[in-house]
Amino acid sequence: MSVGIERLAVYVPSYALPMADLAAARGVAPEKYVQGLGVEQMAIAPPCEDVVTLAATAGARLLRAARIDPRSIGMLLVATETGVDHAKPVSIFVHELLGIGPRCRVYELKHACYAGTAALMTAADWVRAGGIRTRRALVIAADIARYELGSAGEPTQGAGAVAMLVGSEPQALVLGEESGTHAGNVYDFWRPLGRREAIVDGKYSVDCYLDALTGAFGAFRSLERPALEPDEALTDRLARLLYHTPFPKMAMKAHRRLVEVDWRAARERWAAVEGRLDEAAAASYRDLVAPSLVAASRIGNTYTASLYLCLASLIEAENRALGGRRLGLFSYGSGCCAEFFTGIVPSGVATVSDAGVATALRQRTLVDVEQYERFVRAGDVGGDTPAGFTGDFVFRGVRQDRREYQHAEALAA
C-alpha cells in the first residue's frame, strides 16, 4: 500500500521585510544577510494573525484545492512551537474553523521544528494501520519564528504554514517506510514558558544540527546499505535533497556535511573528491539542493513548516520533471530530534503541483523597518486587518476569556 502526501498547500503572511533594509537599520553589511545567510526577505505576521489563522488558512486552501469534504478527515494534527495555550491545542481551533466533523482524532504536536515530521510520520502510520479502510489525515505545520529585535537571530525570523493531506492515494510524495533518527537533550534553542521570543545559542545550534544530521543520515545509510552497490554513494540515488532550512546557508552547510559522510563511506568516490571536497560539495549543492530553497530565501524560517515549504516550492517549480524520482528529506528540531527519510514523487504530480507558493509570494506587500517593528511591538493581540491582508481568517483578540476568530470575508462585509 502506498502512503504519503496527496497534496500540499502553503500560506504565508501578507507582509515581508527586505533583508537589505533590515541590515541598513542594524548597521550591518547587507551581504551578511543576503549572501552570508542566504535570506532576501522575511515574512512578517501582523497582530491580527496568529498560528491558528496561519494553520487554518493553509488547511482551508488545501481542502478547497483537493475538493475534500472536511467531514471525511479522520485525523487532524497541527505541529507548532508557537502554541497559544498550555492546554488547548491549536488544532481544536483549526478543527472548528475548517468545519471538520466530530469523528476525528485532533491534537497538537511539539518538538521544536521536528514536530512537522513527527506529525507526518504519525499520520502515515495511522493511514497504514487502517488497512483497506480509506483513511485520510490533515497535517498542518505552522509557526511564527521570533527572536529579540536587534539580536543575531533577528535576520532568521519568518512565518508560514504548510498543510498536507496524508492518505493512500499520494500524488505529491510516496513516503519510504524506513527512516534514520537521532535524538539527545541539548540546549541549543528553547523558549521557556511565558517568553515570546526564543533563546538561542546560535553557533552551538548550527553544530547540534550538523551532529544530528550525521547521526540521522548515518542511521538511514546503514539501513539502505544492503541495497547499495559496493562503493555506491546514496546521494547518487537521490534526485534532490531537502533540508530543514532556518536560513538557506544552513542547508548549504548541511549538504556539505551529508555528502562528506556519504562519500567517505563510498571509497572510490571518496578517493576522487578527497582534496577538493568543498568544490565537489558546492557543485552537488547547486544541482541537488538549491532548487528547493527559492521560497525559503523569501520567507525565512517557518520552523515546523520549513522542510515542507521547501518540498512544496520544489514540486511547484519542477513538477512533472520530478515524476518517478526519489527525494531525500532531513528534518531537525532543536533540543533535539532529527530524522532522515526519502520519498518518491509519483509521475502524475503535475495535477497537484500548485501549492499556492508563487501566488502567495506575488500577493505580498513589502513593509519598511518601522512598520515591521510596529507589528512586532504590538504583539499578537488580534485586531483589524491592515491594508493588503490576504489571509482567510483573522484573530480578533481575547475577549471574555475566549480567543475570537473570524472569516476575513465576514469582516470585510
Least gap, CB of 188 to ligand CAA (angstroms): 6
Under the criterion CB under 6 A, does residue 280 sit at the interface with ligand CAA?
A: no
User: Collapsing DSSP states into helix, strand and coil, what is residue 311?
Assistant: helix
Least gap, CB of 140 to ligand CAA (angstroms): 18
DSSP label at residue 40? S
Under the criterion CB under 6 A, does residue 159 sit at the interface with ligand CAA?
A: no
Least gap, CB of 390 to ligand CAA (angstroms): 25
List 6, 40, 49, 113, catalytic entry: 113
Under the criterion CB under 6 A, does residue 35 sit at the interface with ligand CAA?
A: yes
Under the criterion CB under 6 A, does residue 246 sit at the interface with ligand CAA?
A: yes
- Has 336 been annotated as catalytic? no
Q: Which stretch binds ligand CAA (CB under 6 A): 28-36, 235-243, 311-319, 371-379?
A: 28-36
Residue 65 CB partners (closer than 8 Å, separation 6+): 7, 9, 354, 356
- Has 86 been annotated as catalytic? no
Question: How far is residue 118's CA from residue 339's CA, in Å, rounded to a whole number?
Answer: 9
- Has 81 been annotated as catalytic? yes
List 95, 111, 182, 244, catalytic entry: 244
Place of cell 539580536: 151
Least Cα distance to 140 among 190, 204, 82, 183 occurs for 82
For 51-176, where are the alpha helices, taking DSSP H only?
Answer: 51-66, 90-98, 115-129
CB of 152 or CB of 271, closer to ligand CAA: 152
Annotate each residue in 190-229 with x if it binds ligand CAA (CB under 6 A) or - if it does not, as one string.
----------x-xx-xx--x--------------------
Contact 173, 242 (CB under 8 A): no
Alpha-carbon distances, residue 337 vs 49, 121, 158, 167, 183 (angstroms): 28, 14, 21, 25, 4
Fill in the amino acid letter for 284: S
Least gap, CB of 331 to ligand CAA (angstroms): 10
Under the criterion CB under 6 A, does residue 113 sit at the interface with ligand CAA?
A: yes
List 6, 81, 154, 318, catalytic entry: 81
Burial class (CB within 10 angstroms; exposed 0-12, middle 13-18, buried 19+) of 277: middle
Annotate each residue in 38-77 with x if it binds ligand CAA (CB under 6 A) or - if it does not, as one string.
----------------------------------------
With CB under 6 A as the contact rule, the residue among 25, 26, 36, 396 that binds ligand CAA is 36
Contact 249, 214 (CB under 8 A): no
User: Collapsing DSSP states into helix, strand and coil, what is residue 108?
Assistant: strand
Least gap, CB of 303 to ligand CAA (angstroms): 6
**# of chain residues touching ligand CAA (CB under 6 A):** 28
Question: How far is residue 130's CA from residue 127's CA, in Å, rounded to a whole number?
Answer: 5
> Distance between the two ends of the chain, CA-based, in angstroms?
47
CB of 10 or CB of 208, closer to ligand CAA: 208
In the complex, residue closest to ligand CAA by CB: 36
Question: How far is residue 178's CA from residue 165's CA, in Å, rounded to a whole number?
Answer: 20
Fill in the amino acid letter for 192: P
Q: Segment 324-343, which members bind ligand CAA (CB under 6 A)?
A: 332, 334
> What does the binding site for ligand CAA look like in residue numbers (CB under 6 A)?
29, 31-32, 35-37, 113, 152-153, 155-156, 188-189, 200, 202-203, 205-206, 209, 244, 246-247, 249-250, 301, 303, 332, 334
Give catalytic residue positions: 81, 113, 244
